[in-house]
Structures are given as C-alpha cells and as structure tokens.
Amino acid sequence: MDEDKQIQLLQLTYAHVLADATRQFGQEGVLERVAARKRQEQLATGSTKAAQFGITSAEQVFTRLSAFFRCASWQVTPHDGGFAAETASCVLAGLARKMDAPSPCRLYCLDPMEGMVKGLNPEAEFRVQETLWDGGKCRVEVKGCAAGLSYLDEQAGA
C-alpha cells in the first residue's frame, strides 16, 4: 500500500472512531455534558491547537484542516466584514448517520474550529448558519477578522 493510501485509511479510521464515540456518548446519555465540557476546553486551548497545525489566520482554520484531515472540503469566500466557509460533504457526518449516531458536528468539528478562530482573534464572531446534519450544507460565517490576518497581526499593525 502506498503512503497516500495509508494516510487515507488513517483519516477514515479516525473519522470512524469519532463517529463511534459520538454514538457511545449518545447511548450513555452523556453527549450534551461531554460536548459542553469539550467546548469550553476547545475555546481555552484554541490558540495552542492553531499553532500546532501552523495556522495563523482564521481562514486557514478551514483550509488547513480540510487539507490535513480530508473530512470536509471547506470553501472560503469573503463575506460581510469577514468570510463565509461552506462545505457540501463531510465524511464524519456521513459515518455518524450510517451508524445511527447523534450529530458529531459541534463536538468534533465546529467547536474545535471556533476555538482556533477565537484563539487567533478573541474578538471574532463565529456563527454556524447551517450544518449538513440539519441542512444541505455546512456554512459558518466569521466576522471581526481582517482577511488573512490573525489577531496578533492586526494588533501589530494598529
């Protein structure tokens, strides 16, 4: 098996493990508590996680994670004082649906991304407009970030 196939297999296995964990949390009745606790953790550690991925702007949260995990193919476009990120497919959501799990969207995707965006710019607004779980696409709008700049870049230029 070549290296690219090995990476794809690891990515799919990782998504499957996350979907199964969501199913287990749901069956045990603890998903909401786990998700709330993890959300606070993601918001507290977002800048560190962004740095670990070499992410320096809010847009890169979507584009770099797309390239790294190959779970969703986010498209980022300028929008109303910030940008909008959209994807029409998600491996994790698809796997979760197949195993009759609850939505993994906030726990394993949106909350970690929000943590990184706000870790780069604490003033950023992160608004989930729609998810693939409940609609035809996932759409997030981020405002309060100059395009391509992190909070630290903006402060240095001020």
Helix (H) and strand (E) counts in the chain: 7, 4
Q: Provide the greatest CA pair distance for the chain.
A: 51
H or E stretch including 77? Answer: strand 75-79
CA–CA gap between residue 65 and residue 153 (Å, rounded): 21
Q: What is the pLDDT of residues 62-98, one digit of tens each?
A: 999 999 999 999 999 999 889 999 999 999 999 999 9
Torsion of CA 145, 50, 77, 66, to 10 degrees: -170
CATH number at residue 61: 3.30.1380
Q: What is the pLDDT of residues 30-49, one digit of tens each?
A: 999 999 999 999 999 999 99
Nearest Cα residue to 104 out of 80, 134, 73, 78? 134
Q: Residue 83 in contact with residue 76, Cβ under 8 Å?
A: yes
pLDDT of residue 128: 98
CA–CA gap between residue 121 and residue 79 (Å, rounded): 17
Q: Which range of residues forms the domain containing residue 66? A: 3-157
Q: How many domains does the chain have?
A: 1
